[in-house]
């Protein structure tokens, strides 16, 4: 191997190492921002990891909304038809938040099985249901039809 070949080999090695480091950094950054969606049935079945940031949603159960004494914390239940999970949110509720409407939250599942949302999104019109919520509702409905 002459000097020019050795120089090219070092350059190729540095290029491969640089690309590997760049890809590793991108994948690491993406993994911190990926929030997997879990339906209430999956949360109730223990499929959702406790304490890890996740997204979850469903339809707000009628008559389940309760406010804490501080006025900012709201407790309610969400369902996909197959299971119901208690949910907690502290902050200003979206204007379109109502019982019987679909919501999607980002937060974590605590040890007691309550989904503590840090962000809460409500559906924006009567014809729209978040994709994940609609899919969970459809799956729960199809499982009921099979039984």
Which residue did the predictor score with more confidence, 146 or 11?
11
Burial 5-16 (b: 16+ CB within 10 A, else e): eeeeeeeeeeee
- What residues does each domain of the chain span? 1-33, 37-122
Output the known binding site for heme.
124, 128
Show the tokens assigned to 105: 């939250």
pLDDT in tens, 130-144: 677 778 778 888 877
CA distances from 40 to 7, 31, 43, 78, 121 (A): 59, 23, 5, 7, 16
Which contacts of 126-130 are long-range, i.e. CB under 8 A and separated by 24 or more positions?
129/102, 130/57, 130/102, 130/104
Output the known binding site.
124, 128
pLDDT at 29: 86
pTM of the model: 0.68
pLDDT in tens, 107-121: 999 988 899 999 999
pLDDT in tens, 14-41: 999 999 999 999 988 887 778 889 989 9
pLDDT at 96: 86
CATH class of the 37-122 domain in this structure: mainly beta
């Amino acid at each position: 191997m002459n000097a020019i070949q050795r120089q090219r080999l070092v350059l190729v090695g540095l290029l491969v190492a640089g690309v590997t480091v760049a890809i590793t950094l991108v994948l690491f950054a993406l993994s911190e921002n990926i929030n997997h969606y879990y339906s209430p049935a999956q949360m109730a079945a223990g499929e959702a990891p406790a304490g890890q940031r996740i997204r979850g949603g469903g339809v707000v159960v009628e008559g389940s909304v309760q406010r804490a004494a501080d006025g900012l914390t709201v407790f309610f239940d969400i369902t996909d038809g197959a299971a119901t999970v208690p949910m907690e949110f502290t902050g200003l509720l979206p204007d379109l938040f109502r019982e019987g409407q679909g919501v999607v939250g980002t937060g974590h599942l605590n040890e007691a099985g309550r989904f503590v949302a840090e962000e809460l999104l409500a559906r924006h019109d009567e014809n729209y249901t978040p994709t994940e919520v609609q899919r969970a509702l459809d799956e729960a409905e199809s499982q009921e039809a099979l039984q």
